[in-house]
Chain A
């Protein structure tokens, strides 16, 4: 599947296109098919996203979205060396999802 990601223009936070707007959580990502660049053009013009790009992702057995590249998985979770600063600070094993 193809999903959209970028950084929030104001805050820099990593964001994911959920089909209607932007979410902080990769699991909300929508498959944009071949419409990624078109959506990004609109969102960029509206100053809602910075540095947006289309990436490959897959669905895991439980339906969760998993970006294909480790860089985007680290973006999705947060720094593996600071679990307290990730989106799942209470889950000590969250980093294993990245690797």
Chain B
């Protein structure tokens, strides 16, 4: 994985000292809140319901054991012993003290981490396929490009005062595991479809996506941009957005709104014209710089001749393998998914002790590497199949061995009104009640793949627009109310979920989910997932069952 060079470290260290001085001046009364707020937000420090919240960037969801141990240390020393993984592959601490925030940033800088651009009108943490570098179906590891774009855009003056936040995602497989088309700028690494099989690497480009109160799915603007022109193309997109975007209405400033208002054809036309101009400036990175960064992402030294079989004689282990283990590109290796969705727990939350267990596993069994998935789970990307049993036993002791990946209890939920100052309703209790309702593993397996996603407000941090079943919490005259949505997806066949009808109480929405699931079980055809059945029968096939 990428390692800071002298310049990276100097920049991050300087930023820590800047923030230490800014915090000192704020606490001394030399700055007002209006002056200080944008500065703390630029360092990922929010004020939430119960305390300050620190959002830590985890670029493309990649961590090593040293970093995770540092996060455990911070959780124990400065917070309340746990952290929360987010749908942007980041980690949040919810009980931070302002007076200690500079010390935390300094601790993070020791392990090449920071909170820069995890808030504000900037290019946010760039996300990627959490199986990057391990997936059997990828063309190449997408992370060198995510890192290149991160370096080219961080602190870039043209991108420091964007109209609104801007989210980039990079994947390199046909299967989309990262909700790429729900981003402002989605990239899929492909081989040139028009070079007669020569295999030139480049990007399919998808601008204009995003969730929030006005959801749009990104459209394909280009079948192919040569890889070494991608920064120019990104600049062109940002420049067109910067030129036209409104700055007078926060709800109209995301790029997706401009794309919608100009129309895809006109937006593409302007981007293409700008792209041709920018290409003449030759601002793309040279091959040597790509080679320097790509070298950090060379595959680990996989052993050859390893057994490909897994001893499944322990039935509980076999259940876990079937649900949590994915195919790896190297023979004898596997990708092990770690569920953070324990029944009765809080999705995405992890204690300091559990962080240390996972760090130990990554160091011992996975070439010192682990991943954060946007689904709020963790991944050991490179484990020998022969080690899976020991890994599972350790996870089980740490209460991290739930076998529910992509099942009905693997629910994405934002922190909601239990923590978030923007939320209108609580998300976590709804997720807990649904998980408890479907706790029986045989029932979960019978239902099959079913992705439930819950947001506590219209900002959609819980990705409800992309849920096979989505739930949106709203404030109805001071009372929590929940809208139910069906048919969303963040995969390669991305769709936006639709609202079923009138909303429900907290308990009512749990019952409604169960009725929708039971309806699916009644009418599904062989091999159909919930989403397949919904797509076949439409909302009408479910509405009566949900509302009676």
Residues of A within 8 A of B (CB): 7, 9-14, 44-47, 50-51, 68-71, 74-75, 78-82, 85
Contacts and interface: CB of A to CB of B under 8 A. Distances in A.
B51 interface: yes
Contacts of A82: 346, 418
Interface stretch (B93-101, B106-114, B250-258, B316-324): B93-101
Nearest to B53: A12
A11 B96 CA distance: 7
Interface in B405-440: 417-419, 421, 423, 426, 428-429, 432
A51 B80 CA distance: 23
B50 A70 contact: no
Interface in B478-515: 478-480
Contacts of B137: none
Contacts of B29: 45-47
A12 B49 CA distance: 9
Interface of B: 26-29, 33, 47, 49-52, 80, 95-99, 346, 417-419, 421, 423, 426, 428-429, 432, 478-480
Question: Nearest 7 pairs between A and B by C-beta?
Answer: A12-B51, A79-B418, A12-B52, A47-B29, A81-B428, A11-B97, A10-B99
B27 A9 contact: yes
Nearest to B28: A47
A69 B478 contact: yes
Nearest to B418: A79
Given A7-B52, A46-B29, 10 more contacts: A10-B99, A11-B51, A12-B52, A12-B95, A14-B49, A44-B33, A47-B26, A70-B480, A79-B50, A81-B346
A12 B96 CA distance: 7
Given A69-B478, A70-B479, A50 B97 contact: no
Contacts of B33: 44, 50-51
22 contacts: A7-B47, A7-B51, A7-B52, A9-B27, A9-B98, A11-B97, A13-B51, A14-B49, A44-B33, A47-B27, A47-B29, A68-B478, A69-B478, A70-B478, A71-B49, A71-B423, A74-B49, A74-B417, A75-B50, A79-B50, A79-B418, A82-B346
A10 B429 contact: no
Contacts of B346: 81-82
Nearest to B30: A47
Q: Which of A13, A45, A70, A78 has the most CB of B within 10 A?
A: A70
B488 to A, nearest CB: 25
